[in-house]
Amino acid sequence: MKIVVAGGGIGGLSAAIALAKVGFEVEVVERAAALTEVGAGIQLSPNAMMGLTALGLIDPILSVASRPETLEMRIGRTGEKVFSIPIARESKQRYGAPYLHVHRADLIEILKRAAEFVGVQIRLGARVSAYVRDAAGVRVGLDTGGILPCDLLVGADGVRSTVRRQMLGPENPNYTGAVAWRITVPADVAPDLPQSAVVWAGAGRHAVTYRIRRGELINFVGVIETERWRGESWDEPGDPADLAHDFGGWAQPIPDIIAAAETCFVWALFDRDPLARWSEGGRVTLLGDACHAMPPFQAQGAAMAIEDAVILAKCLSVHGVSEDSLARYEGLRRPRTSRVLASARSNMGVFHRSNAITQAATYGPMKLADRLFPAFVRSRQDWIYAYDVRKIAV
Ligand SMILES: Cc1cc2nc3c(=O)[nH]c(=O)nc-3n(C[C@H](O)[C@H](O)[C@H](O)COP(=O)(O)OP(=O)(O)OC[C@H]3O[C@@H](n4cnc5c(N)ncnc54)[C@H](O)[C@@H]3O)c2cc1C
């Protein structure tokens, strides 16, 4: 049985590996001329790592990752600590899987190699433009003129998915009201940066810092609320002077990190409301940002795509290519991804308290809870991090 996966991002490649490992013939169609990712980092929480372990990738990922000691929240202007979770210890004890940071290009390279190793065909420079479905299967049309017959089409083609548009009709993603600056700089520009994932909270903005590539680089994401986004492209080259202005007056090492940036890009952040369904006729389904794009304020978009990939492969392997399989897949994934989306949306407000009063009202109790009830603070992410795809019955 042949499956075509539209899109060679983290979700598409993870799905391709999972599907090939359970015996399907898989072809990935990627519109870009090469499999690449933006030059930025990504956090892989324990649930993402359990998914990647199911794909057999724990060792290669450990070899390129950086492992934070703590997850922290700090006040951006003063550097004052709000809470600190000893995630290196907790992730091992609570979840049995590490919390890691990697460079996206390293992750894509690992996924690509693993996909090729299990026999996935990767077709680059071709865009899935449409599909025709009938009882016998699916014919996938490419912009290069080719037609790929298959038994199932998986749309892992991102937030502006062509497969989703044909299945459910045109609908623009929601602009979250925020854009994200992204830079990576050599780690020696800020030797005192804690070995942590730190969320630096501020009025209408927040930053996230962590180390990647075995600690050699620092990844900085600076999110700022703005309605000035012009809305045509999703990412644009930005002026480092504007970035420095957006985070002017923040505590060290934020100014040193920003000053070290030679070039930077700024991303408009979009999400989508939960979909009522994302499969069609037992022959076409969606995965990752194509069906549940979320803002990055919970660092879970890729984790959800990886979980989708493993669950989809399990459903198809146990129940075959059928409406029942895809209904089970959606039934397992929709409630969880909708809840994570809601949580990510609400985090933006938590990170962006606009004045001293609202900041004190939010961060004061958090600080107190961290001192008085650390076990409670640490358990608050269990519903996300403890999810082990390997144990989910399909
Ligand atoms: C600033 C920021 C920080 C983030 N941090 C984290 C984090 O720390 N942890 C985390 O888990 N998530 C994070 N995310 C979210 C994560 O990056 C995404 O959820 C994830 O990359 C989605 O993967 P995907 O494969 O579904 O989609 P994409 O990565 O968008 O991949 C889609 C692929 O499909 C291709 N494509 C598109 N259309 C077609 C077509 N018609 N035919 C063929 N190919 C096509 C594209 O070229 C692309 O390669 C972050 C996001 C942002 C913006």
Residue 33 is part of a domain; what is its CATH number? 3.50.50.60
Residues 6+ away with beta carbon under 8 Å from 238? 181, 264, 265, 266
d(CA 103, CA 212): 6
Q: Is 245 within a domain? A: no
| Boundaries of domain holding 333 | 2-66+95-173+273-350+382-391
Residue in 95, 99, 131, 210 annotated catalytic? 210
Closest residue CA from atom 3 of ligand 1? 296
* Residue 131 appears among annotated catalytic residues: no
Q: How many CB atoms lie within 10 A of CB 252?
A: 11
| 288 within 8 A of 156, measured Cβ to Cβ | yes
List the end-to-end C-alpha distance of the chain, in Å, as a whole number. 20
Predicted pLDDT at 353: 83
Three-class secondary structure of residue 384 per DSSP: helix
Q: Is 362 within a domain? A: no
Considering its fold, how many domains does the chain have in total? 1
Q: Is 225 within a domain? A: no
Q: Is 296 within a domain? A: yes
Query: Looking at this protein, which amino acid is placed at residue 161?
Result: S
CB of residue 128 inside a 6 A radius of ligand 1:
yes
Q: Tell if the pTM clears 0.75, that is, is over it.
A: yes
Distances (CA, A) of 228 to 128, 240, 269: 32, 17, 13
| 389 within 8 A of 102, measured Cβ to Cβ | no
Q: How many CB atoms lie within 10 A of CB 355?
A: 9
What is the Å distance from ligand 1's center to 156 Cα? Answer: 9
Q: Is 72 within a domain? A: no
Both structure tokens of 112: 């690509």
Q: Is 240 within a domain? A: no
CB of residue 384 inside a 6 A radius of ligand 1:
no
| Full pLDDT tens readout for the chain, 394 residues | 999 999 999 999 999 999 999 999 999 999 999 998 777 899 999 999 999 999 999 999 999 999 999 999 999 999 999 989 999 999 989 999 999 999 999 999 999 999 999 999 999 999 999 999 988 899 999 999 999 999 999 999 999 999 999 999 998 888 999 999 999 999 999 998 989 999 999 999 999 999 999 999 999 999 999 987 655 556 778 889 999 999 999 999 999 999 999 888 888 899 999 999 999 999 999 999 999 999 999 999 999 999 999 999 999 999 999 999 999 999 999 999 999 999 999 988 888 887 778 888 888 888 888 888 888 878 889 999 999 999 999 9
Query: Looking at this protein, which amino acid is placed at residue 4?
Result: V
**β-pair type (100-103, 41-44):** antiparallel
Q: Please calculate the CA angle 385-195-268 and round it to the nearest 5 degrees.
A: 65
CB of residue 42 inside a 6 A radius of ligand 1:
yes
CB of residue 282 inside a 6 A radius of ligand 1:
no
Q: Is 267 within a domain? A: no
What is the Å distance from ligand 1's center to 68 Cα? Answer: 23
Both structure tokens of 288: 């990752």
Three-class secondary structure of residue 24 per DSSP: coil
Can the peptide bond before residue 253 be classed as cis, meaning omega within 30 degrees of 0?
yes
Q: Is 149 within a domain? A: yes
Q: Which atom of ligand 1 is nearest to the CA of 42?
A: 8
